[in-house]
Structure formats: C-alpha cells, structure tokens
Amino acid sequence: MKQLIIFIIGILGVACSVNEPKKDAIGYDEVMVLSDSTEFSQAVFLTLDNKGTPLLVWSSADTDSGQYLLSFKQYDKQNASFGKAQKVEQTKGMQAHHESMAKIAVKQNGDMLAVYRRENKASKRRFAGDLFFVESSDNGSSWSDEKKLVTDTTSGSQSFYDLARLANGEIGITWLDSRKLEKDDGSSIFFNQTSSLGGFKSEVGVQGSTCQCCRTELQVDKYGKLNIAFRDIINDSIRDMVYVYSDDNGSTFSKGKRISVDNWMIRGCPHTGPTIASNDTQRATAWFTMGGGKGVYFTVGESSQTTSPTRTLIDKNATHPQMIWAKNHFYLVYELRLSSKGKAYRQVVVTIIDKQGEIYKTINVSEPGVDSQMPVIAPLDSQSLIVAWVDKNASHQSLIKGKLVKLE
C-alpha cells in the first residue's frame, strides 16, 4: 500500500528575532497521520490557495470500486494542522499518474479549479486520454459537472499539464497535446486560462516538437511574467529542456530556447520534467538529464535571460526535482536512488541553494531504507516549508508523517 508522507521543513532565519513555531504545530516533536490508511494513495500535489495557505491534493482509490478520484485537504493555520479530507466525486474513474497528477488551483477570488485526466478507451492511439475540469465556488464543498478542456476533435490526446494562478487572478494551464504544431513525431505544448465567467478562454499553441511524456512546468513570477519549461525534441533524438515566456499574460509566447545544451540523445521519454522558481531578480531551473553526465542539474540567472551559461550537478543519482524560492534560498526537493544491503530504494532529499547558485545545505527528509518517491514542496508560512511524497513501504499504510527541522 503506497503512502503519502508530509514533511515540514522550518526556515528559521539567522536573526534571533524570528519567533519559534508553536510546539503543537504539525511536525513539531510529533508524527501525525493525515490520510486514510485503508486507501491506496499516490500522485501527490501541493499548491497554495488565494490566501497563501497550503492545499494538499492526491489520487486515492475508492474502497468499493477501486477507481481513482481526487482527494484534497486544506491546511488550517490557526489550528496548525490539515483539515478533513474531501473527495471530488465527479472525478471518479480518473487516471492516477505521478508525472501527470490530478491538480487543484485556486483563483484570486477563491474559486477552485480541479483538472484531471480520463483514459480514452475509444481511441486507437496508445495511451490516449482527455483532460477534464470541474469548478467550485464554495471552497470545495460542491463542484460543477465535468467538462472537457479541449473541444477540438482533431486533438486525440492531452496530458502532462500544470496549473498556476496568473497576475489577473485567473488560472493558467499548460499541457501536451497530440495536435501537431510542427511536422515531427513529438507532441505540442498548449496554453489556456480560465474566464471570470467560468470555464476557459481560447487556447494558444505555444510550441511543437515536445517530448511526449514529461510534465510541463508553468510558473508565474512576482511581476506576472509566465515562465514555461518542458522537454523538447531537438534534431530528431536530442531531448533537452527548453524555456519560453510570455510578458502579456499568455496572449503570445517567445521562441523556445534551450535552458542548457546537454545534448542528451535518447529515443524515448524519461518521465521526469523540469521545475522553475523565481525571486525578485532571478529565475532558477532544475531538471534531470543524462546528457554530459547523469543526474539532476540546477542553473540560475537573471530573470531577463532566456538561458543560463552554466549548470551545477546536484546529484548523479537524483531524479524528479521540484523547487520553490522561500525567504533567502532556493529549496530543491528530489528523490535520490540508493541501495542498502542489496535493496534499492529512493530517499527524499532537500538541497538548499543560495542566490549565487552555491549549495548551502542538503537534508535527508524521508526515512533511510524506505522507498519514497515523487516529492513536492510548498511554503507553509514565513518559517516553514511542506514537502510531500508517496511512500511505497508496505509495512504500514498511507501514513502522513510530520517533522520540524531547524536550518543553520
């Protein structure tokens, strides 16, 4: 039985004036169970609502039918704990995928949007599926009927999507689509955004020739600039990360440029996408590659730059990175492939990186020897971060653990 694990990382500044978290806060001197141990849970996602409060989302299997549906919990800052799990019944029968997980985003006015994927069993296309969405205007207590994201019948499949709140308060979405913007074997990346009247506006084709099975990354900086990263197919078999941006809230996009010239030649998809984080003046990116050396790499540069000149190896055995900027550092979480006594497992690790791109500290988050995978990360408050991941240890079921770690 897979398990979701939550981990709280305290960001305690050097200044002595910073207040210590309450002793009864989640993860402080105690282990808390937040998920139903009788359910099979996977594909965890973390986001923030319109008030900056964490929202935990995951895919849980219905105990009667075994079908997946979207589950979520909201964090209660006053009680320093997550509330009761809520299920979106309209999503029942959806797919559960670690790189293309079901997600919720919250508009600036508080309206919620849930996006998920269903298998298209009628299609002759391998792995075909359609993206659907439902909306809620009462904090998730009730949801609208589901609708298809893409109504163009020439689109045979959509997947590997990301959501972000835009500067106008609406929700932007990127996804990979089977429609061809270029004549090749790849997919194409599209963008759309919600309307204040409900539903979505007109979609925009961003770029073709994308790798078919790596998640896209949509990140909006403090100035409202849309940053998108994805794995591209270059010269037939090179699959490197590419960056595009929009300065007009998604109406138009720049031409794609490689984040790093890795020249990874592979005729297949590694199922591990990029991650972006920004501060006031910089944009950082992390990604997995096997071009010029295997592992997760990190690069940082000025926000105005489309590429960065150098890359830093985080770890050769790392994969599936996710990253945020918080306080004075970039916080990069990933899974590290290890082995003990002949048994392979994955450990969740956080690496803290300063503005100059130098590694400040690395913390082992999950338990040694326990197979933990697909971590995600979000800020909790001015002092803490949340890291969540799926734990495959079969000795216990769907436990969510919390722990506070002081940073030097």
Query: Quick one: pLDDT at residue 30?
Result: 47
Check pLDDT > 60 for residue 194: yes
Q: What is the pLDDT of residues 249-282, one digit of tens each?
A: 999 999 999 999 999 999 888 899 999 999 999 9
3-391: what CATH class?
mainly beta
Cα(143)–Cα(133) distance, integer angstroms: 10
Element spanning 236, H or E:
none
Q: How far is CA 337 from CA 44, 211, 293, 370, in A?
A: 19, 24, 16, 11
Query: Quick one: pLDDT at residue 33?
Result: 54
Closest CA to 256 of 309, 220, 308, 306: 306
Q: Note whether 243 and 228 are within 8 A (CB).
A: yes
Check pLDDT > 60 for residue 108: yes
| Contacts of residue 358, Cβ cutoff 8 Å, sequence gap at least 6 | none
Check pLDDT > 60 for residue 157: yes
In terms of pTM, does the model score above 0.85? yes
Check pLDDT > 90 for residue 237: no
Q: Which of 41-50, 56-65, 199-208 comes out lowest in average pLDDT? A: 56-65
**DSSP state for residue 38 in the 8-state scheme:** T
Cα(176)–Cα(167) distance, integer angstroms: 23
Q: Note whether 330 and 322 are within 8 A (CB).
A: no
Total number of residues shown for the chain: 408
Per-residue pLDDT, averaged over 240-252, amounts to 97
Q: What proportion of the chain, given as a percentage, has pLDDT over 90?
A: 65
Q: Note whether 269 and 277 are within 8 A (CB).
A: no
